[in-house]
Structure 1
Amino acid sequence: MKRPLFLLLLLMLAAANSAWAQTATSRLVPFRKGGKWGYADQSRRLVLPLRYDEAGPFVEEIAWVRQGQRYGYIDGGGNPVTPLQFTRATTFRLGRATVELNGETFELGPTGQRLTEPAPPSWRKSP
């Protein structure tokens, strides 16, 4: 009776470790200087230049950024994943982010492809 309980406990610990590894802190964090945002490493050394009006956290190695009134997504190298075209954008979660473009709300995948048809604008927390 004790052995199955022990094995279950081990499986639960392994799953928790795996989940933690997937949500571990990104190597880059948003960094603001003056009115512009870029990204710094954990030592606060600037890695991606200060070129954005606002910058979100890297989640799943993708972050939303804003210039003017438009949002887009970049990868960990600062390369665009999408153009700066969205009027709203959320942080990626489980391989998806919700955006608004031309009054339509839909989800994007990690390569910037549209995943769903327009959905009602029930925004999770937006930037």
Structure 2
Amino acid sequence: MRKIHQAIPVFVCLTILGLVSCRPVEQTQASTAVTQQNQITNKLFPVKSNGKYGYIDQTGKVVITAQFDEAFDFSEGMAKVKIGGKFGYIDNTGKTVVSPQFEDADDFSEGLAGIMTDGKMGFIDNTGQMIISPQFDDAENFSEGMAEVKVGDKWGYVNKVGEIVVSPQFEDSHNFLQGLAAVQIGSKWGYIDKTGNFVWNPTE
């Protein structure tokens, strides 16, 4: 589920960013503009009508009729919807791909989505197949092949086959970005790599 993070010290962020190579600004801006335009062109928007939710396109045309108790934005061609207290997923034609059966659910990211069953979080693929069985107290979306998972009151990281790569030991954590992730130990924040080694030791 989506976490609300404490702020990371700015000077740590600036220092770490200096260690990470970046692509030319012009290339990044151009590719971002194309991606954003494609997203706008193909985007569907959840709307409420007569107590139910459906989807319209950017012209306001109804594409998926209102039939859901709750509806959310699309990610990777799938949107989570709620019917009768359970969450499932539809494609952009409104076809049910994963029937509503979960207590809670997250968006798809890198081909997987976090779902909750019997109070535990696991991950399914876009066919609804359970890839990582529900076993975590909480979990976040995958980023760069790793996902934050919570066991008890500590956060760690798993890979896409459910192997714990970084054991749960942190009070809080962020997802990986360009090979690094911010983690909190006590009141201090630092950065780890994908093996769990600190590249910047925790500091106030």
TM-score where L is the length of structure 2: 0.50
Q: Contact 1:70–1:84 at 8 Å: present in 2 too? A: yes
Alignment of 1:4-43 (within 5 A): 9=24, 13=27, 17=31, 21=35, 24-25=39-40, 26-43=42-59
* Paired residues for 1:1-127 under 5 Å: 9=24, 13=27, 17=31, 21=35, 24-25=39-40, 26-124=42-140
CA deviation after TM superposition for structure 1 residue 83, in Å: 1.0
Relative contact order (alpha carbons < 8 A, sep ≥ 6): 1 or 2 greater? 1
Deviation above 3 Å: which 4+ runs of structure 1? Answer: none
Higher relative strand content: 2
Mapped to 2, the partners of 1:96 and 1:40 lie a distance apart of: 25
* Contact 1:71–1:85 (Cα < 8 Å) also in 2: yes
Unaligned runs of 5+ in 2: 1-22, 142-204
Which residue identity does 1:38 align to in structure 2?
G
Identity of aligned residues (%): 32
> Larger helix proportion, structure 1 or 2?
1
TM-score by length of 1: 0.77
Q: Which amino acid letter does the alignment assign opposite residue 52 of structure 1?
A: F
**What RMSD, in angstroms, separates the aligned Cα atoms of the two structures?**
2.7
- Cα displacement (A) at 1:91: 1.2
Letter in 2 for 1:27: K
Gaps of 5+ in 1: 1-7
